[in-house]
Chains A and B, each alone.
Chain A
């Protein structure tokens, strides 16, 4: 059973804004942990419970951090669990893993995802398939978002969406649960993203 970080600890850590200071880390590690030097991001420290509750209208009862090995990036995820789970928030922060020889620039990843470049090693078919293209289907492109970070896109899905933000060497992905409209979720996401950026 994974130890659950208490909300109090989470708030305290967030307030401290110290990326490495919290003693009771809860990042999930894989059976073969990556270079520990790379796991220096704790996404659970970027937002406070109060900040999330303010936009989601549900108390945050827990936060659950995790990371997985990655050959190029330092990726940290956190799910801020709301009392009403459907109003929980998922945050992923991706940064260059400076400790790896294979490290890549986040901006390259951003261009590959939202720009014209292909995924490395991916065939046309793979790229288009993984990008969700279907026969004869004209899916909406990611919506460009202004007013947050250097660049941002809203990627909608069936029950909401995710806000992707590029800020310097960090790629932020925020997904808010709940029944709000796309517009409401986007605005809430931007609000939270601004706070995250301020703490990067």
Chain B
């Protein structure tokens, strides 16, 4: 399971219980081990001339017979130790290190939860420590890490080894500095050297390590005396491949990032996203296609808990969306930060703005039909002197765009309600498109970056509030041949501004002619430029695109871009390697652009594979579409100085660890989690390294076997690698004590196998690095898993939608979609049928003239020409539950016009807001198991018979989800009970059960049911179940009551006739992913104590032989009166039944 999927599962579990909440996505900037990194990425160890000890494996200190492991000869070969060797090569860094070579039979595959350990005793040991060790361990997925540690009363992993690798031939090499393992020096002897392999049995933290193989220790032997590496040739230090100097202070404070995506149940996609931050509320605003999203970050944990909410900004479907949040305010000015959302199409254009992060929008002047207009951008900042703020709004708003011939900017003095004329910003032959985002300096100077002005990257500058403009190129630049926007950032304050410099520092990031990322700096508003340099050279980047720049303090700026280390023309789908990985890189300068330090902000998760077409529309008509990311991304800074990048992720799911691009544009945010900020006032205090941030607990759920799984996300490491996690548990009520478990840094989940099902618990998680232990962010009870079983209940959750996000909220609560689900439970008539469920906030009153629609794209378009989707829906007509009708139909590919094809198979609505519509598969394209519905969404409308069901005209709609059919038949695999009994209380003797086998000869109930024929059947399952109902499916009798207690179902029967075969059926039993009916056969024959299906003398004789005894497990069948004693009444009863039998 890749990390994205894992995270999504985690967020599903947490968020669904809260309906609107969504846990944050993650991708860790640091600390996550790379899968298979040992083989793929480790540089070779030094190979030097000299004695054998200079070159691994060095001196063999112990050998072990082959094939002596547990499970030999065929099982556990990967854990069959052959030898342990030690070498002491000379390393380029001059540090004394030991290289342990651990040889096993083979490592063709890595068994999960394995340990390959070499333990030894150096001459000097810390107090309480008896030995040190190095080891390779594998997690449950077979990912390996290399560590070292010590042994005292417990075995403690102290940290990551200096190096480690393994090969399929079974050779494991681990390097550790002498100083980390007792600091042995030349002449010292390592004693009691022992190799040991182990497998974890049970869960990490609580499971047991079972030894599979070990070498022999006798006294202090085997041993090894250190010889040092003076006799070895030492390799020359590897040249540092980093021409970009390291900022003053070294790497301390280098920014770290965490990545966030919307939850899969409320996903957003769109190329060329834009992003803004409200500095007053802290909310991030993100525009992905036509979805203007408010993203909240709760920094109690790390990653922050992120909540993505579609604000449903009024919009048309647009291919040129732009969003901008104006957060520049004079001190004391509390005017709300205003966010603009603008969309362009050929037929319409609209700009709206919001002062409450999308809770409500107001329209800007608009509606001009654009012609040849492109690349719109909006910016704002203070007025340039002598103009001052108007009473209407503190800042001028600039709208810039390409015209048919030139680019222009228009200024608004009323907060974007209306705009002045479009003033050209360069001559028609002076520059060619395209331009980047318009930015405004603190002094009101306006900058629009341009890709090519007379062949140079440039800014176009206005120092008079947009009335006149001057083109200012970077003389040393070379413009890119591709259509890549440059980006400008301007110091936001005077902190760090060079003495005597009048204006704020300008940073311009651009793609050079060789496609490399470059950035230049101007201290005089673009009149002159300095430090025009390439960044990211430490990564060997060959191409970069989508440059974005933002500045904070005058001498601090962050430069984000997509980069790849693969050479070639990256815009050519024909020639560029299709698996070439692109990552998001962010270069930061803390010295005014003199030096830049670049980090890979998505180290384990490419943002694209293969080509990225930056050639414009018609030159990018490739299949698959490698213009999926469109033309740019966006970057901003929050009030606390965090760099925040909004980017489209073109590589999700299998692409991450595979080699095929997904051609998506998943809404994504990289948000700074650690290191120095763009505002020095918000730098970490105390300086890093510090203890990690509190991990984010994503879910605490109990599975069907009672195991409680705690999932969390790795937090920011505080500048020092995380060593371990601690999982704590307390009862409710109760307090936390010592950690329940210690989990290695490579693992972010823990299975608690010791939880008592009858006890309520809370869990919390902390992280520890060399600087200390983190706090925890809240505590978490065990919650129910999300609805993800299409066989059960309302089915599989496809879309979760926030409550209260409908238009004119809190009005229209009846149209406020909370969830859309799809189910495929077993159908009594065996017709394949889909059950769609929509949950809305409130249908306690069902208004008239409402439309509820669930729309999806099938794998094969509908047969009706001009249509491409199906829908099911409910119309309320005149209002009230009785007036609701349910139908299904198709939707036209152009215009979103629904065409009804008839009534649905069934439909229901209840006051709690649950609408269910059943439709046979063969009415909606007859999809089979394995088919996937895409773009599945809910869309609710006011009015009946609307001509279109476009999202933009909906009162509420969900994001697009998908659902892959499993087929109703798959839901027919009923849970298998572990047993069923007929239970009866025998007076004070207690309860005794007669087994009721589900197959073979039925159990025979020989005890009386009393005058009413009452019996009780108990069916026990291996895990908790739910059932829909219970019934007597054959025979005479009926169910009087049914109770479900976890894994037990108790069915009370009445009216059960004697001398018959009866079958009790549990209908709709759901257990985990199993679902179906369970039937329990039982024969009823009073007095048949000998189990021969008839009552006769043998039964009488047996009862007599036990007469006078109290009822026990051994004789209870003879107590047919169930009174706790075997006596004449039982014998008499049996005699009365003599001659009866089961037909």
Contact = CB atoms under 8 A, between A and B. Distances in A.
Interface of A: 1-2, 28, 30-31, 64-66, 68-73, 75, 77, 79, 81, 85-90, 92, 94, 104, 109, 113-114, 119, 122-126, 128-143, 153-162, 164, 173, 175-179, 182
B345 interface: yes
A129 B618 CA distance: 9
Contact of A138 (B346, B385, B428, B470): B346
Contacts of A114: 404
B468 interface: yes
B418 A86 contact: yes
A129 B483 contact: yes
5 contacts: A77-B423, A86-B414, A126-B433, A132-B371, A156-B373
Contacts of B402: 130, 132
B370 A158 contact: yes
Interface string B403-444: 111001011111000111111101111101110000000000
A72 B429 contact: yes
Nearest to B429: A72
B432 A122 contact: yes
Given A70-B429, A125-B615, A177 B420 contact: yes
A102 B924 CA distance: 66
Interface residues of B, number: 68
Given A73-B428, A140-B369, A175-B408, A158 B349 contact: yes
B319 A159 contact: no
B467 A79 contact: yes
A129 B433 contact: yes
A164 B421 CA distance: 14
Contacts of A92: 424
A77 B468 contact: yes
A33 B1062 CA distance: 105
A175 B616 CA distance: 28
Contact of B421 (A65, A75, A154, A160): A160
B403 A155 contact: yes
Given A64-B467, A157-B401, A175 B368 contact: no
A73 B368 contact: no
- Best-surrounded residue of A77, A85, A133 (most CB of chain B within 10 A): A85
The 3 closest A-B pairs by CB, nearest first: A132-B374, A177-B420, A129-B616
B319 A155 contact: no
Given A64-B464, A140-B346, A160 B422 contact: yes
B419 A132 contact: no
B447 interface: no
Nearest to A158: B349
B347 interface: yes
A86 B373 contact: no
A133 B618 contact: yes
Tell me whether chain A's interface is mostly helix, strand or loop, or mixed: mixed
Contact of A66 (B414, B434, B469, B618): B469
A2 B368 CA distance: 33
Interface in B256-270: none
B545 interface: no
Contacts of A126: 432-433, 483, 616
A18 to B, nearest CB: 23
B342 interface: yes
Contacts of B372: 131-132, 139, 141-142, 155
- Best-surrounded residue of A65, A90, A182 (most CB of chain B within 10 A): A90
Given A140-B370, A155-B371, A158-B342, A130 B422 contact: no
A108 to B, nearest CB: 11
Nearest to B404: A155
B429 A73 contact: yes
B528 to A, nearest CB: 9
Contact of A140 (B371, B374, B422): B371
Nearest to B411: A85
Contacts of B616: 125-126, 128-129, 133
Contacts of B630: 135
Contacts of A109: 428-429
B374 A129 contact: yes
A88 B374 contact: no
B404 A131 contact: yes
Nearest to A87: B420
Nearest to A157: B373
Contact of B420 (A70, A86, A129, A182): A86
A129 B867 CA distance: 31
B390 to A, nearest CB: 9
B527 interface: yes
A156 B432 contact: no
Nearest to B621: A135
B464 A2 contact: yes
Contacts of B408: 90, 157, 162, 175
Nearest to B464: A2
Given A125-B620, A175-B421, 4 more contacts: A64-B464, A86-B413, A135-B620, A156-B370
Contact of B468 (A2, A113, A176): A2
Interface of B: 319-320, 342, 344-347, 349, 351, 364-366, 368-376, 385-386, 399, 401-405, 408, 410-414, 418-424, 426-430, 432-434, 454, 463-464, 467-471, 483, 527, 615-620, 627, 630
A71 B392 CA distance: 42
Nearest to A84: B413
Contact of B368 (A66, A138, A153, A160): A160
Contact of A142 (B386, B401, B404): B404
Given A86-B412, A126-B616, A182 B468 contact: no
A119 B432 contact: yes
Contacts of A70: 427, 429-430
Contacts of A153: 404
Contacts of A31: 470, 527
A130 B433 contact: yes
Nearest to B630: A135
A157 B471 contact: no
A85 to B, nearest CB: 5
A173 B427 CA distance: 12
Given A130-B432, A139-B345, A156-B368, A75 B427 contact: yes
Contacts of B345: 137, 139
A129 B375 CA distance: 9
A179 B618 contact: no
A179 B469 CA distance: 24
Contacts of A164: 404-405
Contacts of A124: 618-619
A139 B429 CA distance: 24
A179 B1093 CA distance: 95
B468 A28 contact: yes
A99 to B, nearest CB: 16
Nearest to B419: A159
B404 A125 contact: no
Nearest to A82: B420
Contacts of A135: 319, 617, 620, 627, 630
B363 to A, nearest CB: 11
B428 A128 contact: no
B428 A162 contact: no
A132 to B, nearest CB: 3
A104 B368 CA distance: 33
Given A90-B424, A156-B370, A160-B419, A128 B618 contact: yes
Contacts of B454: 71
Contacts of B463: 2
B418 A159 contact: yes
Given A79-B423, A126-B483, A158-B373, A30 B617 contact: no
Contact of A139 (B346, B376, B421, B468): B346
A129 B401 contact: no
A139 B371 contact: yes
Given A85-B413, A114-B404, A137-B345, A130 B423 contact: no
Nearest to B423: A90
B423 A175 contact: yes
Contacts of B418: 86, 159, 177-179
